[in-house]
Structure 1
Amino acid sequence: MMHMLISLAYLVTFLTFRVSYGYLELNPPKAVVRFGDPVSVNCSTSTEHYGMGWEAPAGSLERRDDVDVITWTVPELTDWDIEPICFINTDDGQHNKTLSIIVYKTPDSVSISYVNHTGPVMEKTQYELQCDIKNIAPLQYLTVRWYKGQTLVDSQIFTDDSKTPVNVSVPLLITPSRADDGAQYWCEAELDLGAEGPQPPPTVQAETLNVEVCYPPSIVSLPSDKGVIELGDAGITLNCTAIGNPAPVYSWNSTLLQEKTDQPTITSASLRPGNYTCSASNKLGRVWKHFSVKAKPRASPGHPSSTQPRPLRRGDRGQYTQVIRGAKIINRTVAVSVTLQLDLLSSKQCEEENIDGVSRLYINKASGYNIGNYTCIATNKFGNTSSSARVLVRGAETLCPLQLNQSSIVVKHNEPFSVNCSLPSGATGEITWMLSNREIHSSVFESGNFHWNDTIMCSATIVGLGQCHKNASVTVYKTPDSVSISYVNHTGPVMEKTQYELQCDIKNIAPVQYLSVRWYKGQTLVDSQTFTDDSKTPVSVSVPLLITPSRADDGAQYRCEAELDLGAEGPQPPPVVKSETLNITVHYAPVINTTKLPSVVPVIRGYSENLICEADGSPPPEIVWMRDNKIIVNDSNLVITNARAESVGFYICNASNMHGSNSTTVKVVLKEDYLPLIAGFVAIMVAVIIVGFTIIFSIYYKNTKMGHYSLKNAKPNPQNGNIAQNGKENTLPMTKLSLPQSVNPA
């Protein structure tokens, strides 16, 4: 019964609290205020009370019992982490409502820049752009967007719940192509504070960054390009036009040129039969274009003439007939011998037939091997004559028979190497090496002073075939001078839930297209990156890694490594250079353990209560207890002694370190000690019960179990000799005494 009464009392108290709390209204219910601006919020109630007010670090209002609306006002709000509390005192105690308030600040500046780079960029090379946002709060409402021209290319949001202004950098990785030359990149920072915030959301844009892309020359292909150009055709021009940034410089190489020229074209007026080579170069590379100019053949009496037009198509069967015309025959016994002289390659898949001064050459399944010069020689005792024709095979390329002892060379920078170029057996011609734009008259190339962008090409003019070239692929590599890891725009410990950028710097490595960079956290691979840039000279590259550490990452170790995998011809295993490890120290703002500190703590009048506030933070936080905006205890333990009415109210535990603060409010309510009353009541009830039971028992026993006895005028019962009970039939529980037999009656 007593238990039910106590439960009912608690239920009534709870319902009363709910009703009272429900009548506390804030207008507006949520405030969004620019840092330094004024703010005003009304707190109203429609229930009876004995005072209401505001508790806050700024704009606190004392309790008033003569109002139903009380206004919290701050003319200049400069507290980032403020939680004003409106409270009301009613019959059942004090109740409150906390105002949700967001203090914001737009960034001082938004700017865009390269990371570890200035000036023009190289095509097919990865670069990192960075959008820097200075002094913005709160970060969790920030959205950063990247644009290329008017096209959105990336966006990023944040989850950090810090309230004070911070600086953030948002990266963007780009790998520009030559089509991106002149592209404009820009970023913007938008602070979207919801429906209660300013509309439209404040946005700050960075100035545009114009990208200038440099790339090596490439020859422009023209529809009029021909492998072999015959003089005499109308409008013949050797065109070596190339595109590149910086603009290419042209040079022509031929012993037939009467004067040097740096123009991309040579007109027919200055051309003579022979071979011409044009090079287009800038600081990033060089390309060549080869031209073969032939004199247009003219028919002459007495020379063999062809009956089969050229060129052939690849895979065709062609017939090449030479007939001797205009030869004087002295008598019928004069013999004429007709032979065909073929070069080394074109003789393959050929069949020759000579009948009566007519020579026929059949080419079966024409291929690149059949491209070349064919010479018919007619001989009798009076002399000989000849005629040559060149056969082209459409859809096939001329195959160069030059032989290199190694066609692909991988060599470490400044180490010597050599390449041998030779003609196949039976072929004749002069071999020269072309080192970039310089001729070397030798069949063996010795590296000597070989530069990064140099190229080597073996060239020969082979009898019957003409000039042909074969390139030797040379890869010059260099392992990095150093590989290091660091933060970007940060030093020291990091904050949890905040994004940071690590950077792996690889200094002076070549060629970068064979580089692989891997990131590790401890022994776990977390990221890897390869490169497509085909530049040959040493470069320094930076590979970013974005991390958002948690407190569990405190003490984690990050490292990166650079591997140069040059294929089967390169060193085995591929050279790897590792960075030193970077130890992460994670700092975080305090967090109070509210599971051990409830929001409402009842204390019993006259007793003591110990409130313990525990908080986790790095560095370890300082903990204080506050009441009425004053510090009352510089410790995590708050002891309330001899609890009384003055002890009731709101207590604030505040934990702070260099990275922030966290607070929680505890409501102390007073409970009466009913135990002595209950014990006294129980004692009284027990005493009453005992006394009552005794009285009842006595009355009952007297009336039912006890008679009235008297020995006056007692008479023996005639039946058994017992003394009668007041003359009644009932007998007393007595037994008649008899004298002992040894005693004689007097």
Structure 2
Amino acid sequence: MDESPDLPDLSDMLQFPLSSPGGACLVSLSLMTLGRLSVHVSIPKQIVVVDSSLVDNEVVKSMAALEEDDDDDDGDECDGRKKLQVNAHQASHTNYLLMRGYCSPGIDSSCQDKPVITPSRLVVKFGDPASATCVACQQACLPLNESIIDMEISLGTPNINGSTVSWTVNQMTEWQLTPKCFYTTEKVQCCTNLPITVYKPPESVSFSIKPSGPLIEGSEVILQCDVLNVAPAKNLTVTFYRGQRSLGEEKSSNTTKKPVNEAFSSNYNISKDDNQVQFWCEAKLELGAEGPQPPLVVKSDNLTATVYYGPELKVPADPAPVSIVRGEPLHLTCVAEGNPKPRYNWTLPSNKAHSSVTDLKIDSVDFQDGGQYVCTVSSNGNSVSVRFDVTVQEPPESVSFSIKPSGPLSEGTVAILQCDVLNVAPAKNLTVTFYRGQRSLGEVKSSNTAKKPVNEDFSLSYNISKDDNQVQFWCEAKLELGAEGPQPPLVVKSEKTTVSVHWKPTDLETTSKPSDDAPRWKLCRFILCLMLLVSASV
């Protein structure tokens, strides 16, 4: 009987039953150590695995750069995105890291059955909750046990239920994030982005005008609107207002997604009509149909503008001359508009300053009050003047008429008609008219330029005829002072003088017009005839 080979001594070794926990694993490791067992591991093409300990700084930098690009992409899909390249020596089958959100080489980015996210776009106020639901596919990701369905997001919690992924976040605390809903099968990988706009209303809006202080009419100023701590600035529009009238809009070009301070300005030409008008601005954050409706609007306080202007006259600078009768009241008005309130100073004909009011009044004018009155208006370093020319008039004290020579006049003689006007001013405005009955015989004007009262004599030659016998002659003095003077002009008439004219008698049979002695001749003829008849009868 052959002797059996010597078996190794196992008395000092630990026996580990194959059926005990970990026994199969121990057997597999033992066989692999002895080279009796080999294992082949296959990694799907759709998944990139990276040994996190081997990813150098440049790879990390490239991942960060791609994340920033994703945040600026507001598109709904992830097709055509950049692909992160990982070298072969960086791949590992031990400690692995899934490159989330990046399409790996060989993935079909033109898949038709894409994930659908509801809502397709989110607008969320910073600090508020948010949620979205993703249906990964209709058919392409089925059966589910052969697919990977998930949502990549840096904030909140995704909840997967079959092909539906629900995402919720209790408080939005990030300014830049773009959730990506995706599914992966052996043949295709599809993903859809959810654009999210995180906003913050303006903390405050303030309005100012530069330069500050009182403004000057005609100057150009800068209207400025400062908006503090607002996001995103690219959705911000500022409108400037004058009262309730819009002066124009300004939009921000800042693409920063985090809160910023923005300043807007607009040029404006100041006019006097802007004095005491309220200027202001409003900031409007327009976030589209998914944002607050109506859009968020924050208004600044009103700023009341003070504008210096003028003075501007409200009366003619060269008014028509003023004529006034001695003893009557004089009232001159000088009105101007300006800011600050205009100051008035009157200079009288005597070159003496007068009251600083808009109206100058003299209760009873005399001849020394005639002349030029100057009203000077000053405001804001500027001045304007109004000049009044005043003429004080004196109606004739008396007007008398006479004929030279005096007494009865002879037919055919040349008489002098004389009109004496006493104590009249100004004489240059005096006109005397001579009358025969109601018929004017002519006018005579004075050439005297004295402004104080004078006595004036006017005369007119006239040929006397017997027809002037018992006719009334007279004159009138008229003081014509223009449209600004008394209307109708002042007229003073003389007493009427009845003229007696002597002329030679003519033939009794003449058919000419009898004189005033014709009745007496007829009486004589009657008496003579009566006497002849009486004597004949005797």
TM-score by structure 1 length? 0.38
Indicate the SS of the match to 2:111. Answer: helix
Q: Which residue of 2 aligns with 1:281?
A: 378
Q: Which amino acid aligns with 1:246?
A: P
Instruction: Give 1:255 deviation, angstroms.
Output: 4.7
Q: Which residue of 2 aligns with 1:237?
A: 331
Q: How does 1:26-105 map to 2 (within 5 A)?
A: 26-45=117-136, 46=138, 47-48=141-142, 49=144, 50-59=147-156, 67-105=162-200
Q: Which residue of 1 aligns with 2:277?
A: 183
Q: Which residue of 2 aligns with 1:118?
A: 212
Question: Deviations 1:456-476 (Å, cap 9, x if unpaired)?
Answer: xxxxxxxxxxxxxxxxxxxxx
Instruction: Give 1:25 deviation, angstroms.
Output: 2.0
User: How far apart, in 1, do the equivalents of 2:292 and 2:305 lie?
Assistant: 35
Q: How does 1:673-688 map to 2 (within 5 A)?
A: none
Contact in 1 for aligned 2:156/2:167 (Cα 8 Å): yes
Q: Which residue of 2 aligns with 1:446?
A: none
Q: How does 1:654-669 map to 2 (within 5 A)?
A: none
User: How far apart, in 2, do the equivalents of 1:70 and 1:270 lie?
Assistant: 102
Q: How does 1:237-276 map to 2 (within 5 A)?
A: 237-256=331-350, 260-269=354-363, 271=365, 272-276=369-373
User: How far apart, in 2, do the equivalents of 1:156 and 1:391 lie?
Assistant: 64
Q: Which residue of 2 aligns with 1:553?
A: none
User: How far apart, in 1, do the equivalents of 2:398 and 2:325 lie?
Assistant: 22
Instruction: Give 1:84 deviation, angstroms.
Output: 1.8
Q: Which residue of 1 aligns with 2:512?
A: none
Q: Which residue of 2 aligns with 1:163?
A: 257
User: How far apart, in 1, do the equivalents of 2:416 and 2:126 lie?
Assistant: 114
Q: How does 1:497-516 map to 2 (within 5 A)?
A: none
- 1:152 lines up with 2:211 in the alignment: no
Contact in 2 for aligned 1:133/1:167 (Cα 8 Å): yes
Are the structure 2 counterparts of residues 289 and 92 from structure 1 closer, same or farther at C-alpha, using a change threshold of 3 Å?
same
Q: Which residue of 2 aligns with 1:418?
A: none
Q: 1 or 2 for the larger relative contact order (CA 8 Å, sep ≥6)?
A: 2
Q: How does 1:364-375 map to 2 (within 5 A)?
A: none
Q: Which amino acid aligns with 2:388?
A: F
Question: Deviations 1:687-726 (Å, cap 9, x if unpaired)?
Answer: xxxxxxxxxxxxxxxxxxxxxxxxxxxxxxxxxxxxxxxx
Are the structure 2 counterparts of residues 198 and 77 from structure 1 closer, same or farther at C-alpha, using a change threshold of 3 Å?
same
Q: Which amino acid aligns with 1:163?
A: K
Contact in 1 for aligned 2:160/2:166 (Cα 8 Å): no
Contact in 1 for aligned 2:217/2:309 (Cα 8 Å): yes
Are the structure 2 counterparts of residues 233 and 101 from structure 1 closer, same or farther at C-alpha, using a change threshold of 3 Å?
farther
User: How far apart, in 1, do the equivalents of 2:278 and 2:325 lie?
Assistant: 49
User: How far apart, in 1, do the equivalents of 2:299 and 2:360 lie?
Assistant: 52
Larger radius of gyration: 2
Contact in 2 for aligned 1:250/1:281 (Cα 8 Å): yes
User: How far apart, in 1, do the equivalents of 2:252 and 2:109 lie?
Assistant: 42
User: How far apart, in 1, do the equivalents of 2:161 and 2:334 lie?
Assistant: 96
Instruction: Give 1:97 deviation, angstroms.
Output: 1.1
Q: Which amino acid aligns with 1:261?
A: S
Question: Deviations 1:510-558 (Å, cap 9, x if unpaired)?
Answer: xxxxxxxxxxxxxxxxxxxxxxxxxxxxxxxxxxxxxxxxxxxxxxxxx
User: How far apart, in 2, do the equivalents of 1:379 and 1:239 lie?
Assistant: 39
- Out of 283, 286, 293, the residue aligned to residue 199 of structure 1 is 293
Are the structure 2 counterparts of residues 258 and 89 from structure 1 closer, same or farther at C-alpha, using a change threshold of 3 Å?
closer
User: How far apart, in 2, do the equivalents of 1:233 and 1:180 lie?
Assistant: 47
Structure 1 residues not aligned, in runs of 5+: 1-12, 304-324, 339-345, 347-356, 362-371, 381-386, 395-746
User: How far apart, in 2, do the equivalents of 1:112 and 1:233 lie?
Assistant: 61
User: How far apart, in 2, do the equivalents of 1:52 and 1:108 lie?
Assistant: 41
Q: Which residue of 1 aligns with 2:465?
A: none
Contact in 2 for aligned 1:215/1:284 (Cα 8 Å): no
Are the structure 2 counterparts of residues 177 and 376 from structure 1 closer, same or farther at C-alpha, using a change threshold of 3 Å?
farther
Are the structure 2 counterparts of residues 258 and 162 from structure 1 closer, same or farther at C-alpha, using a change threshold of 3 Å?
closer
Greater strand fraction, Structure 1 or Structure 2: 1
User: How far apart, in 2, do the equivalents of 1:93 and 1:265 lie?
Assistant: 96
Instruction: Give 1:132 deviation, angstroms.
Output: 1.4
User: How far apart, in 2, do the equivalents of 1:67 and 1:265 lie?
Assistant: 95
Instruction: Give 1:391 deviation, angstroms.
Output: 6.8
User: How far apart, in 2, do the equivalents of 1:16 and 1:268 lie?
Assistant: 100
Q: Which residue of 1 aligns with 2:522?
A: none
- 1:133 lines up with 2:133 in the alignment: no
- Out of 107, 111, 116, the residue aligned to residue 18 of structure 1 is 111
Q: Which amino acid aligns with 1:53?
A: D
- Out of 215, 221, 246, the residue aligned to residue 315 of structure 2 is 221
Contact in 2 for aligned 1:125/1:175 (Cα 8 Å): yes
Instruction: Give 1:268 deviation, angstroms.
Output: 2.7
Q: Which residue of 2 aligns with 1:714?
A: none
Identity over aligned pairs, percent: 29
Instruction: Give 1:179 deviation, angstroms.
Output: 2.8
Contact in 2 for aligned 1:53/1:70 (Cα 8 Å): yes
Indicate the SS of the match to 2:250. Answer: strand
Question: Deviations 1:355-379 (Å, cap 9, x if unpaired)?
Answer: xx96768xxxxxxxxxx99x99869
Q: Which amino acid aligns with 1:278?
A: C
User: How far apart, in 2, do the equivalents of 1:216 and 1:192 lie?
Assistant: 43
Are the structure 2 counterparts of residues 161 and 326 from structure 1 closer, same or farther at C-alpha, using a change threshold of 3 Å?
farther
Q: Which amino acid aligns with 2:249?
A: S
Indicate the SS of the match to 1:18. Answer: coil
Indicate the SS of the match to 1:140. Answer: helix
Contact in 2 for aligned 1:16/1:92 (Cα 8 Å): no
Contact in 2 for aligned 1:275/1:290 (Cα 8 Å): yes
Instruction: Give 1:41 deviation, angstroms.
Output: 2.1
User: How far apart, in 2, do the equivalents of 1:118 and 1:126 lie?
Assistant: 12
User: How far apart, in 2, do the equivalents of 1:264 and 1:292 lie?
Assistant: 17
Contact in 1 for aligned 2:309/2:338 (Cα 8 Å): yes
Instruction: Give 1:207 deviation, angstroms.
Output: 0.6
Q: Which amino acid aligns with 2:191?
A: N
Instruction: Give 1:160 deviation, angstroms.
Output: 4.9
Question: Deviations 1:323-370 (Å, cap 9, x if unpaired)?
Answer: xx54755898999999xxxxxxx9xxxxxxxxxx96768xxxxxxxxx
Q: How does 1:628-643 map to 2 (within 5 A)?
A: none
Are the structure 2 counterparts of residues 184 and 277 from structure 1 closer, same or farther at C-alpha, using a change threshold of 3 Å?
same
Indicate the SS of the match to 1:179. Answer: helix
Instruction: Give 1:241 deviation, angstroms.
Output: 2.5
Are the structure 2 counterparts of residues 296 and 207 from structure 1 closer, same or farther at C-alpha, using a change threshold of 3 Å?
same
Q: Which amino acid aligns with 2:206?
A: S
Q: Which amino acid aligns with 2:199?
A: Y
